[in-house]
A and B are shown apart, each in its own frame.
Chain A
């Protein structure tokens, strides 16, 4: 059974940093691209970033480019999202998702709140 478990969310001040983690199990992690998707309170879904299976290629939305960095450790079956220079508008539930044709499995999400 595919399982994705996010952690690392919490309350952070504007301008601060957080690192999210997503532990994967139940599939061969190193053979799939992975993504982060977020949902801000009262809003819809927004794709944040994606990393290829090897980790050699990454893609990010313009709203986080230069501030967020996606990475992975295939030996630990773990996906990461390093978030720097956080803004109030980054407040959201962050989901990690396995990429088949598209996002076929999702974690339960971790809440990031950016507030002073």
Chain B
């Protein structure tokens, strides 16, 4: 199984500042034939289902604010919130869909400093 490891486990950032989440996979999730990384980021707020933010490592889902961006390739990935808003408080998960079993990172909890 591909193990997804996120860092840090929790993050406290001031409003308007940048938040950076890291995700590392135990093996590459890059499809060389398409040059696409099968890596997604989700946001989950209490009492709500997860919401897809980013897929193919850097493609923003429709309706997601442009302050959210994804980057990385192979085994190392980053989600960045360029200017933190109060409504961004949530747990953020990375997920690989390169192969089954699809696996998620353990999550990073984002709080306001």
Using known A-B contacts A44-B105, A47-B101, determine if residue A109 contacts B52 with beta carbons closer than 8 Å: no
Q: Decide: B52 and A103 in contact? CB cutoff 8 A.
A: yes
A102-B49 contact, Cβ under 8 Å, with A44-B104, A45-B104, A47-B104? no
A62 touches B101 (CB 8 A): yes
Say yes or no: is B74 at the interface (Cβ < 8 Å to chain A): no
Binary B-proximity of A102-116 (CB < 8 A = 1, otherwise 0): 111111110000000
- Whether a CB of chain A sits under 8 angstroms from the CB of B106 is yes
Does A59 sit within 8 A of B, measured CB to CB? yes
Docked-complex contact A106 and B107, CB < 8 angstroms:
no
Chain A hits for B59, CB < 8 A: 101
Q: Find out whether the CB atom of A47 lies under 8 angstroms from the CB atom of B49.
A: no
- Given contacts A44-B93, A45-B93, A45-B95, whether A104 and B102 have CB atoms under 8 Å apart is no
B4 and chain A: residue at smallest CB distance? A44
| Number of B positions contacting A (CB below 8 A) | 24
Residues of A with C-beta under 8 A to B107 = 44-45
Is there a chain B Cβ closer than 8 Å to A82's Cβ? no
What total of A-B pairs shows CB separation below 8 Å? 58
Per the bound structure, the CA–CA distance linking A64 and B95 in Å amounts to 19
- Report chain B residues within 8 Å CB of A104: 52, 55, 61
Q: Is the CB of B50 within 8 A of A106?
A: yes
Assembled-state Cα–Cα distance A50/B102 (Å)? 10
A110 CA to B6 CA, complexed, in Å:
27
Chain B residues at the A interface, C-beta cutoff of 8 Å: 38, 40, 42, 44, 48-52, 55-56, 59, 61, 93, 95, 97, 100-107
By a beta-carbon cutoff of 8 Å, the part of chain A in contact with chain B is: 35, 37, 44-47, 50, 59, 61-62, 95, 100-109
A-B contact list, 12 entries, CB within 8 Å: A44-B105, A45-B42, A45-B93, A45-B95, A47-B102, A62-B101, A100-B55, A101-B38, A101-B59, A103-B42, A108-B48, A109-B49
Q: Known contacts A47-B102, A104-B52; can you find 10 more A-B pairs with CB under 8 A?
A: A37-B50, A44-B93, A45-B95, A47-B100, A50-B102, A101-B38, A102-B38, A102-B40, A102-B55, A106-B50
